[in-house]
Amino acid sequence: MKATRRQFLAAGALGAGALMAANTVQAADTPKKWRMGIGLNGFMSSAQDYHKEYPLWEVLQFAVDEGFSGVELVEGWPQGGYPRAEEEKRVAGLRGLYDKYGLRIYTFQNGGSDAHAADPERRKAWLEEIKARVRLAKVLGCDFIGHWPGGGLEGNANVDAAIGNLVKSYRDAAAVCADAGIYMSFEIEPPFVFNTPEILERILAGVNHPACKTNYDQSHFDLMWGSKGKPAELLKRIGVRHISHLHLTDTDGTIFGGTSKHLGCGDGHCNTAAALQVLYDGGYQGWIMCDAWKIEDPYDASRKAKRAVDDFWGRLG
pTM recorded for the entire structure: 0.90
Distances from the Cα of 316 to the Cα of 27, 88, 277, 312, angstroms: 19, 45, 10, 6
Beta pairing class for 243-248 and 287-290: parallel
- Contact assessment for residue 213 and residue 187, using Cβ atoms and an 8 Å cutoff: no
Per-residue pLDDT at 10: 52
pLDDT given at position 32: 55
Contact (Cβ atoms closer than 8 angstroms) between residue 232 and residue 275: yes
pLDDT at 27: 37
Q: How many Cα atoms sit within 13 Å of 203 on the Cβ side?
A: 29
Contact by Cβ (8 Å): 191, 223:
no
Whether cis (ω within 30° of 0) applies to the bond prior to 78 is: yes
pLDDT of residue 33: 77
| Residues 137, 183: Cα–Cα separation, whole Å | 10
| Structural domain that includes position 226 | 5-316
**Domain CATH for 293:** 3.20.20.150
Which amino acid would we find at residue 296? E
In the chain, how many domains are there?
1
Mean pLDDT by 10 residues, the chain (317 residues): 49 42 39 85 98 98 98 95 97 97 97 97 98 98 97 98 98 98 97 97 98 98 98 98 98 96 98 97 96 98 98 92
